[in-house]
Amino acid sequence: MDSHSTPRSEPTASDEVSAWIEEVWRGAVARHPERKSAFTTSSNIELAPIYGGAADRGMPGCYPYTRGVRPTMYRGRFWTMRQYAGFASARETNARFRMLLDSGQTGLSTAFDLPTQIGYDSDHALALPEVGRVGVPINSLADLERLFDGIPLGEVSTSMTINATATILLAMYVSLARRQGAAPERIRGTVQNDILKEYVARGNYRFPVQPSLRLTTDLMAFCREHVPNWNTISISGYHIREAGSTAVQELAFTLANGRTYVRAALDAGLAVDDFAPRLSFFFNAHNDLFEEVAKFRAARRMWARIMREEFGAKNPKSWMLRFHTQTAGSMLTSQQPDNNIVRVTVQALAAVLGGTQSLHTNSRDEALSLPTEESARVALRTQQILAHESGVADVIDPVGGAPFVEALTDELEARAKALIDEIDGVGGAVRAIETGFLQRRIHESALTWQREVEAGERIVVGVNAFETEEEPPELFRPDEGARDEVLADLARVRASRRAEDVEARLAALGEAARGTSNLMEPILAAVEAYATVGEICEVLEGVFGRYQPPEVL
């Protein structure tokens, strides 16, 4: 059985476990014969694919997936190595994408600027100060054409960190793929599409909760029919952790949001096994190595049980929690930025030992600016060294069975379950967001951490201990003329498109929004006429209204 085989029931008898291990080994070698020599130590000690059997630790690729979602894990295939990138213009970002692909990156990850994420065009008065500051501005399909110029969408996997406007950006991506000659059935990637965590931790929302959930499930239903290899949501704990939560809170709040999305999809008429296999997750890799490893293991086990026992999913792929990981941006320091290379290495190691399917490693200078090409390359090389030189990918779940790791996994699961019960007690995740329950918990944890750092009770090297005077590193300098270029591109689009087509398609979108039909098709029609992100969001806001956050004391 190789890494793409259908999961099965967990083996129990010792002879079945031995056969399973042999099967894992044969599958890995058959798929990657060039790696056979890698499965030995420097002393030529041959490594078994996995240590320990089902009786004491379970098996990878088997419910409840504590040891991993694929039987072979990294013996069969490494995790996808992504680097998050988005700069002042689509042209500048395209150049960085090409550099990363040439350096051996195996997937693209797109950062959009704040106006794009909230749904304002670059020439809007509120958008002008933020255009291209923290990501790439995308106003229309023309910008996406520039962003992926020379990059065949049928051959790469693309992650897009976009939420409130996820339906619009995915529609543009599908349209561009068709124009390149790639059928939507062939394209692969992930759109974050997780609006609940925006209300909790990040603030990049536009519409109220219920219509936002409608957009989320409309995208799921559309992809099921037309883009079957696309991960329709990346349920994110990353930003919850960046806002200051603990590992337990990240785990509990993320899975609570995940349950809400499943219920919303069921309420929209989707069958659980029709959409659940394309759900994915996005977690933070923090500094506490073993707590992070245990968090990832507990997350898989908890989600498997939620999907099988609570929602009655029958397809084993519906039980599997597949996740992307990013190292902790909030743990990067502007003081002694080279220390961040070490922090990111520890965090990346936690993600790999925890069994991630995809990984982004932050660059050393991101507490100061967008990363330079050199820093981004070092971050990518960190992953490549872990994969090819460290030996951590040679054995499946190498820390499984360690008393400390197993006990920590159990404790994180127990505490996260108790917190989910509290969320249920206040009426579920949506109600907990609307009342500020989740936000207050995160604020309390963030304040506790900050007070400990200020009191010297928690050491941050280079910040409150082991401090030195040093020259700042060379920083990335974005193209200062990029904003004018973006605005000129937008003006050309407005002048060259057929205005009557745009108006007709936006009117059709508004009519659909007032009804109950799936909104992806009218959004797709609008973007193909070069309607802008801002114009589409204005139509939707006219129907849905604007979200007003609660006061959080």
Q: How many residues does the chain have?
A: 553
Residue 344 exposed, middle or buried by CB count within 10 Å (0-12, 13-18, 19+): buried
| Helices H / strands E in the chain, number of each | 22, 9
Vertex 242, ends 331 and 211: CA angle to 5°?
165
Structure pTM?
Answer: 0.90
Parse the chain into domains and list their residue ranges. Answer: 1-72, 78-454
- Please state, in angstroms and as integers, the Cα–Cα distance from residue 446 to each residue in 116, 248, 330, 417, 430, following that order: 28, 13, 11, 21, 22
Taking CB atoms within 8 Å and a gap of at least 24, the contacts of 286-289 are 286/241, 286/247, 286/328, 286/331, 286/347, 286/350, 287/328, 287/331, 287/343, 287/346, 287/347, 288/247, 289/346, 289/349, 289/350, 289/353
158 beta partners: 108, 189
May I ask the CATH architecture of the domain 78-454? Alpha-Beta Barrel (3.20)
Q: What is the pLDDT along the chain (553 residues), one digit of tens a residue?
A: 333 344 444 444 444 555 555 666 565 555 555 555 568 888 999 988 888 765 556 789 999 999 999 988 998 889 989 877 777 889 988 988 898 888 888 788 898 999 999 999 999 999 988 888 888 999 999 999 999 999 999 999 999 999 999 999 999 999 999 999 999 999 999 999 999 999 999 899 999 999 999 999 999 999 999 999 999 999 999 999 999 999 999 999 999 999 999 999 999 999 999 999 999 999 999 999 999 999 999 999 999 999 999 999 999 999 999 999 999 999 999 999 999 999 999 999 999 999 999 999 999 999 998 888 899 899 999 999 999 999 999 999 999 999 999 999 999 999 999 999 999 999 999 999 999 999 999 999 999 999 999 999 999 999 999 999 888 777 777 677 788 999 999 999 999 999 999 999 999 999 999 999 999 999 999 999 999 999 999 999 999 999 988 875 5
Buried b (16+ CB within 10 A) or exposed e, 362-373: bbbbbbbbbbbe
Burial class (CB in 10 A: 0-12, 13-18, 19+), 68: buried
